[in-house]
Amino acid sequence: MGKSASWITPFKKQCFVSLGVSLNMAAHGLVMGFAAILLPQLRQPDSIIPIDDTSGSWIAAILGFALVAGNFIVPTIMAKYGRRTANLASLAPMIVGWFCIILATSITTLLIARFLQGLAMGMSASLGPVLIGEYTSPKNRGAFLTFISLTIATGVLFVHSLGSFFTWQTTALVIAFVVFADLLIVIYSPESPSWLADQGRYDECRKVFRWLRGDGEDDELEKMIDASRFIREAREFANVPDTFAKKVKTNLAYINTTMRKKEFYKPIFIMIHIYTLGQWAGANILAAYTIDIFTNVIGTEANIYLMVITLDVQRILSNTMAVYVIKKVKRRTMLFATVGINLFAFLATAAYTYCKGHNLLPFDHPAIGIALIHIHMFSIATGTVPLPFIIAGEVFPLEYRSLAGGLSVLFLSSNLFITVKTVPYLFKNFGIHGAYVLYAVVVGYCLVIAWLFLPETKDRTLQEIENEFRGRPLSPEELKSSESLTSMKQFNTDRRCSVVSVI
């Protein structure tokens, strides 16, 4: 990172590094949307890989299993080798997965390819928001994090459009080149300044931070370095255990201590419900089963492929609007407003399809069903897709960000698998109206939890948010008190040295 041209402003640099992260996150849209064009082509009589409903649902949903593996892999890479290295590592299985699909001649090969793609998605799901949160300024962080959902939406439109004109093999080949282009961007991106500070590489941290942010945010830089310095000093008070038994005892004590810290368990509890809300709100269902949903809601009279592309365009427009709105509106306000619209769309669509199926409608027109689906997509694109990533990028404390992010995204993975795998079963046995009522119940519950526990994070530094969860600021005087040191020695790896408390 040498001297930059004067016209390359810090904002443009933040755009560049965020693009590398966002294109990686776009794979979520590319992979989920690919199922919507892959499965119908595989169901054709002349398909080289014939499938049934069971094998088709596994092809769509196996991502959830792989996401779990990715969740467990990425925290170690993020913590030990850096965020940038983890970002590069997540792109490798994604590229391999797309080339496996290109060469696939059996269901087994498709499942292996989808598993590799899900592995990459699991790694990027917890990595992406954290990395953008550490790269960008607080005043622009919300917009950059919202850009994640915009690239996901663009990925869905891109793959659906390609699939409308080309075979699934050709579509996969084009997408593989897009992922390779993202690899080049990540290679030329710097390491996260937060991670460099955590490793004690303060000169590099200052260099990268000022390259990304300019000289106007030195206050945040010095606070971050001061907090990191004290944490590193605190580690030196801990005696290194000399036997295996002592190591096990120390690790158990560390886990017990960490799990009881407000700044650790509160964000995880919140994000478990926010990620669950995001999955049950219907984004992946609409992406993977777009044609099935249009057929169930409006029938086969309309041009379904045109409706699919129109819906994807609307998603991008809504995401674009959200990028600007999120800079003006508080996180909680936007969450409750958009999820409220989402609940209305679920229940209204359930009522409409139920009445339509039982001939209870005095008047019917395909435009009614199309409007309901577009309202549903609007709520997803402006709220339930971007907000989980935004909130995840803001609520996790630096010391536990890798671990906490991985644990909470585990629920994203499991809920993705459950929702996508059960769609054929629910639609067949309970109808779309029964499935949508179930989705509304789960989303409503998660919204209540967010109402009770989620703090406002807009325009606040990551340290301020962490202090709110802790209940008090990270004070060097308090941390150096005898009580803190005694507690730290006792647990050996109580790295943050904050007051241990239980609600």
Cα angle vertex 377, ends 374, 378, to 5°? Answer: 85
Polymer length of the chain? 503
Q: Position of tokens 């390491």? A: 191
Using CA atoms, how far apart are residues 393 and 396, in angstroms rounded to an integer?
Answer: 7
d(CA 235, CA 139): 33
**Residue holding tokens 């694109």?**
381
In degrees to the nearest 10, what's the CA dihedral of 417, 420, 421, 422? 120
The pLDDT value recorded for residue 174 is: 95
> For 248-475, which CATH superfamily applies?
MFS general substrate transporter like domains (1.20.1250.20)
Residue spans per domain, the chain: 10-189, 248-475
All residue ranges of the chain with pLDDT < 50 are 240, 242-244, 246-247, 478-503
Task: Please say whether the beta carbons of 28 and 125 come within 8 A.
Answer: yes
Say how many Å lie between the first and final Cα of the chain, rounded. Answer: 46
> What confidence score (pLDDT) does residue 485 get?
33
Q: Are 411 and 122 in contact (CB under 8 A)?
A: no
Would you state the pLDDT for residue 71?
A: 77
Question: If we measure between CA atoms, which residue out of 126, 125, 124, 152 comes closest to residue 322?
Answer: 152
Report yes or no on whether pTM surpasses 0.85. no
pLDDT score for 236: 64
Helices 290-298 and 10-42, packing angle to 10 deg: 70
403 token code pair: 């671990």
CA distance 93 to 120: 6
Q: What are phi and psi of 217, to 5 degrees?
A: -125, 35
Shared fold status for 10-189 and 248-475: yes
Residue-wise DSSP of 406-459 = HHHHHHHHHHHHHHHHHHHHHHHHHHHHHHHHHHHHHHHHHHHHHHHHPPP-TT
Cα–chain-centroid distance for residue 160? 21
Q: Which amino acid is at 481?
A: S
Instruction: Residue 146: name the closest of 321, 311, 17 by CA.
Output: 321
Q: Regarding the domain delimited by 10-189, which CATH topology (the fold level of the hierarchy) does it fall under? A: Growth Hormone; Chain: A; (1.20.1250)
